[in-house]
């Protein structure tokens, strides 16, 4: 039996749930091939007139992807008022409706009249916190018995959609975090330059035997300023996020898939040459995703159209080793780059920040660069046994 409309409306308007929907970053987003392939595949495999991915906010249903919609819904990609998707909110099991007109709980849903919907199959989408985001659905314009295989297939496609949503969110968080870290690093240099320079100056005076009152006071002032600067920086540091862990091969694949559209847009091939399938232990998801995504992004950003960026992964003792290889040519004048770790080409984060991040988590990073073979950037992270 369907829950009362009042209960559904309260859940639909729940601020925590709506924030979770907004956090996907997909509301009002343009059509995306990754999701469009899933809806088209779903409709084709079960021979349904239409399949779609909906996100439900407080005011409307937004269709992230659809296959089989007619105009004007196909272009508008949103619908106000009560829909079948609202009845998936708060559920963990698929909502299966064989004949909406035969069920009093659903017979008054407006889309029966406006769109001609008679049968509905909707698999709920929930985030890691259990918040209902929307559903992955199929509809038919005639009464229909949805088979167990069809339901199972749509559950699997829904999991793929949810996984895509979660990866995009994680990647965006990683990018924001990396940007924050880079800003913090720059702010650290700016904040500490003056007290450290002053300390060096006054220390030289003291070492030279010029320990007059002004030198001592200056040194004490520099120390106080250093402490104040460090305290200011500490107040801007974000608390560490809980660690989540995944299998390396899956994580590498998903990251490359997620970065694929950006590479394709630049005319660059992004391929996995070697998957770390020999690694059974898990790794820190956020750490590996953050580092690998940025290395791939940087490699793609400097690659010429028609070139290839390759990713290699393997187990090495108690560590996971991943390397990203691009074909960007360099000159001997750039050799210092490998030593200084200050990559002027990187759009989002420098290798110095990545090195600090990795070393803080027991890992390491290295660079190999040549005029003939381009650049290899690799890193290692410990495995969780």
- Return the sign of the alpha-carbon dihedral for residues 328, 331, 334, 335: positive
Is 363 within the bounds of a domain?
yes
Last residue of a domain, one of 188, 209, 235: 235
Q: How far apart are the C-alpha atoms of 66 and 318, rounded to whole Å?
A: 45
State whether 202 and 339 are in the same domain.
Answer: no
The residue that leads in pLDDT, 242 or 43, is 43
Question: Per-residue pLDDT for 158 more than 90?
Answer: yes
State whether 42 and 161 are in the same domain.
Answer: yes
State whether 91 and 113 are in the same domain.
Answer: yes
State whether 195 and 305 are in the same domain.
Answer: no
Tokens found for residue 356:
């600090």
State whether 12 and 45 are in the same domain.
Answer: yes
State whether 163 and 30 are in the same domain.
Answer: yes
Mapped onto helix, strand or coil, the DSSP state of residue 350 is coil
Phi, psi of 324 (to 5 degrees): -120, 125
State whether 182 and 121 are in the same domain.
Answer: no
pLDDT at 341: 40
pLDDT tens for 125-144 read 999 889 999 999 999 999 99
Question: pLDDT band at 344, cuts 50/70/90?
Answer: very low
Number of helices and strands in the chain (H, E): 11, 13
pLDDT tens for 258-317 read 677 778 888 999 999 999 888 877 778 777 877 888 888 889 888 999 999 999 999 888
Which spans in 14-106 are helix H?
15-23, 33-46, 73-76
pLDDT at 287: 77
Residue carrying the six token digits 């862990």:
245
pLDDT at 343: 42
We report the CATH number of the domain holding residue 218 as: 1.10.287
We report the CATH number of the domain holding residue 367 as: 3.30.565.10
Is 48 within the bounds of a domain?
yes
pLDDT tens for 223-259 read 544 554 454 455 444 444 445 577 888 888 877 776 7
Residue 98, domain extent: 5-167
Task: Judge contact between 77 and 63, C-beta under 8 A.
Answer: yes
Is 308 within the bounds of a domain?
yes
State whether 179 and 314 are in the same domain.
Answer: no
Question: DSSP code of 238?
Answer: P
Last residue of a domain, one of 146, 167, 188: 167
Task: Judge contact between 289 and 259, C-beta under 8 A.
Answer: no
Is 68 within the bounds of a domain?
yes
Question: Per-residue pLDDT for 335 more than 80?
Answer: no
State whether 375 and 285 are in the same domain.
Answer: yes
C-alpha distance across the termini of the chain, in Å: 46
State whether 204 and 318 are in the same domain.
Answer: no
Phi, psi of 125 (to 5 degrees): -115, 125
Is 240 within the bounds of a domain?
no
Cα–Cα separations (whole angstroms), residue 65 to 50, 75, 92, 152, 355: 11, 11, 21, 20, 39
Question: DSSP code of 371?
Answer: T
pLDDT at 146: 97
Domain count, the chain: 3
We report the CATH number of the domain holding residue 147 as: 3.30.450.40
State whether 123 and 12 are in the same domain.
Answer: yes
Give the residue-averaged pLDDT of 122-127.
95
Question: Per-residue pLDDT for 83 more than 90?
Answer: yes
Question: pLDDT band at 192, cuts 50/70/90?
Answer: low
Is 135 within the bounds of a domain?
yes
Q: Which residues contact 78 (CB under 8 A, 6 or more apart)?
A: 60, 61, 62, 63
Last residue of a domain, one of 190, 209, 235: 235
State whether 139 and 11 are in the same domain.
Answer: yes
Q: How far is CA 319 from the centre of its chain?
A: 23
């Amino acid at each position: 039996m369907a829950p009362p409309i009042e209960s559904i409306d309260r859940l639909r308007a729940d601020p925590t749930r709506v924030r979770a929907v907004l956090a996907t970053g997909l509301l009002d987003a343009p059509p995306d091939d990754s999701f469009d392939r899933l809806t088209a595949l779903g409709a084709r495999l079960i021979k349904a007139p239409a399949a779609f991915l909906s996100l439900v906010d407080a005011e409307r249903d937004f269709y992230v992807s659809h296959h089989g919609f007619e105009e004007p819904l196909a272009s508008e990609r949103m619908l106000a008022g009560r829909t079948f998707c609202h009845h998936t909110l708060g559920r963990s099991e698929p909502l299966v409706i064989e004949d909406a007109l035969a069920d009093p709980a659903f017979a008054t849903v407006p889309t029966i009249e406006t769109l001609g919907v008679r049968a509905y199959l909707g698999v709920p989408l929930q985030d890691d916190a259990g918040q209902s985001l929307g559903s992955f659905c199929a509809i038919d314009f005639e009464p229909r018995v949805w088979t167990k295989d069809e339901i199972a297939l749509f559950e699997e496609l829904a999991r793929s959609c949810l996984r895509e949503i979660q990866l995009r969110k994680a990647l965006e968080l990683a990018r924001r975090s990396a940007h924050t870290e880079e800003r913090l690093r720059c702010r650290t240099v700016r904040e500490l330059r003056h007290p450290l320079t002053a300390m060096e100056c006054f220390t030289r005076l003291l070492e030279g035997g010029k320990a007059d009152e002004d030198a001592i006071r200056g040194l004490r002032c520099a120390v106080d300023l250093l402490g104040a600067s460090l305290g200011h920086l500490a107040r801007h540091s974000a608390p560490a996020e809980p660690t989540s862990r995944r299998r390396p091969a899956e994580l590498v694949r998903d990251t490359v898939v997620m970065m694929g559209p950006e590479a394709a847009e630049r005319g660059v091939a992004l391929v996995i040459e070697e998957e770390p399938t020999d690694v059974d232990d898990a790794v820190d998801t956020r750490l590996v995703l953050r580092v690998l995504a940025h290395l791939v992004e940087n490699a793609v950003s400097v690659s010429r159209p028609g070139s290839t960026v390759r990713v290699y992964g393997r187990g090495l003792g108690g560590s996971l080793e991943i390397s990203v290889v691009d074909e960007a040519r360099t000159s001997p004048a750039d050799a210092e780059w490998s030593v200084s770790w200050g990559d002027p080409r990187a759009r989002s984060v420098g290798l110095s920040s990545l090195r600090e991040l990795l070393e803080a988590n027991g890992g390491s990073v290295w660079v190999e660069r040549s005029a003939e073979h381009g650049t290899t950037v690799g890193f290692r992270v410990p495995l969780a046994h």
